[in-house]
């Protein structure tokens, strides 16, 4: 059997039954009859802002952390209880029903602290077992004759804070409260890509062209030219001329016309996050304006 201190339990990091990390242990609830921890409040979710109560059934505490016997989804869906800093018997019943602990055996290999037999143990249970700083104690007893699986309803009492570390002999008490710690992480949200597609378009260009056409040109012959030509025999004859025109020849070539690239710019924005925080309030049993 391995013995650990409750301080080790309160400082542990919790994992679910599949080995997935949940978060830090925030509070420990102990049994006043046995001095053993019965429940823990474990952080989970983004930045550890969420938390749930988990019964310590079938768990294991080692150098790696606190290994719980329940899956992360069941832990996250646990009822939100202990708002007043303690667990009532009804709260404990609701948690046991949610986790189905009647179907889960107790872990007999892990114990916390040193337990004395007899009257000394009962006095320590009545005064409240030591727990981590700021952690309340769940005051109920376990029916060990029923293998630790059924609670004796007649011995259960409301839970209330029992941390001796917070109370000093000089009349001082330490008040604690939760503070919101927000961090940022950069994650990939998408990809932008450039892609080329080939499309076909029709381009029309007007090209000026020339061509030669035939026309008759008649020029009268004067007397001087007639004398030079002399007498001409009348006969048949022909003459020809070559005609020319411009023809359009079309060719294509591929040339680079533009360079396109992807660029990034950072846009600043503001996001609002909110979370419920717990804090301890001080109450007195006397009028603060009067001395007793």
pLDDT of 171-215, one tens digit each?
678 889 988 888 888 888 888 889 999 999 999 999 999 999 999
> Residue 97: which domain range?
2-166
Whether 43 maps to a domain, the answer reads yes
Nearest in space to 111 (alpha carbons), one of 31, 54, 42? 31
User: Which sign, positive or negative, has the C-alpha torsion 120, 124, 125, 130?
Assistant: negative
Task: Tell me what pLDDT residue 144 has.
Answer: 33
Kindly state the tokens that stand for 288: 């603060």
Query: How far apart (Å, rounded) are the C-alpha atoms in residues 144 and 78?
Result: 25
pLDDT for res 134: 35
Look at 27-31, 165-169, 217-221, 255-259 and tell me which has the smallest mean pLDDT: 165-169
Q: Average of pLDDT values for 118-128?
A: 29
Residue 274 included in any domain: no
| Residue 268, both tokens | 């600043």
Taking residues 63-91, report their average pLDDT.
86
Check residue 287 and give its pLDDT. Answer: 64
For the CA atoms of 161, 29, 279, 44, the dihedral, rounded to the nearest 10 degrees, stands at 180
Q: Quick one: what percent of the chain has pLDDT higher than 70?
A: 71
Domain-located, residue 179:
no
| Mean pLDDT of the residues in the chain | 76
- Asked if the structure places residue 127 within a domain, the reply is yes
Q: Are 14 and 28 in contact (CB under 8 A)?
A: no
In the predicted model, is pLDDT for residue 123 greater than 50? no
The reply to whether 221 falls in a domain is no
| Residue 16 placed within a domain | yes
Of the listed ranges 95-104, 144-153, 242-251, 267-276, the least confidently predicted one is: 144-153
Residue 73 clears pLDDT 90, i.e. is over it: yes
Whether residue 116 is contained in a domain is answered as yes
**Mean pLDDT score, 136-159:** 35
- Tallying the residues shown for the chain, one arrives at 292
Tens of pLDDT, residue by residue over 234-261, are 888 888 999 999 999 999 999 999 999 9
Domain count, the chain: 1
70 occurs within a structural domain = yes
Residue 211: which residues within 8 A CB-CB, separation 6 or more? 243, 244, 245, 246
What is the CATH number for 15?
A: 2.30.30.240
**DSSP 8-state assignment for residue 175:** -
- Residue, of 137 and 47, whose pLDDT is higher: 47
């Amino acid at each position: 059997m391995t013995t650990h201190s409750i301080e080790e339990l309160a400082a542990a990091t919790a994992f679910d039954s599949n080995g997935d990390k949940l978060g830090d242990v925030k509070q420990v609830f102990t049994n006043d009859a046995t001095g053993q921890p019965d429940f823990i409040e474990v952080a989970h979710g983004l930045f550890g802002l969420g938390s749930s109560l988990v019964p310590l059934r079938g768990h294991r505490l080692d150098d790696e952390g606190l290994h719980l016997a329940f899956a992360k989804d069941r832990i996250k869906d646990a009822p939100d209880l202990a708002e007043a800093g303690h667990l009532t018997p009804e709260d404990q019943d609701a948690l046991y029903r949610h986790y189905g602990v009647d179907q889960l055996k107790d872990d007999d290999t892990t114990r916390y602290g040193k337990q004395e037999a007899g009257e000394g143990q009962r006095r320590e249970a009545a005064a409240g077992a030591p727990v981590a700083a700021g952690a309340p104690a769940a005051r109920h007893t376990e029916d060990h004759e029923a293998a630790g699986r059924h609670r004796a309803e007649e011995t259960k009492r409301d839970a209330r804070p029992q941390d001796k570390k917070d109370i000093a002999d000089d009349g001082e008490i330490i008040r604690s409260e939760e503070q919101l710690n927000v961090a940022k992480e950069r994650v990939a949200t998408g990809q932008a890509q450039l892609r080329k597609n080939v499309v076909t378009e029709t381009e029309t260009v007007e090209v000026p062209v020339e061509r030669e056409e035939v026309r008759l040109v008649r020029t009268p012959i004067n007397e001087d030219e007639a004398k030079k030509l002399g007498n001409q025999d009348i006969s048949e004859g022909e003459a020809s001329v070559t005609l020319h025109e411009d023809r359009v020849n079309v060719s294509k070539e591929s040339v680079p016309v533009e360079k396109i690239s992807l660029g990034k710019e950072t846009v600043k924005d503001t996001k609002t996050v909110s979370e419920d925080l717990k804090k301890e309030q001080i109450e007195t049993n006397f009028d603060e304006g009067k001395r007793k």
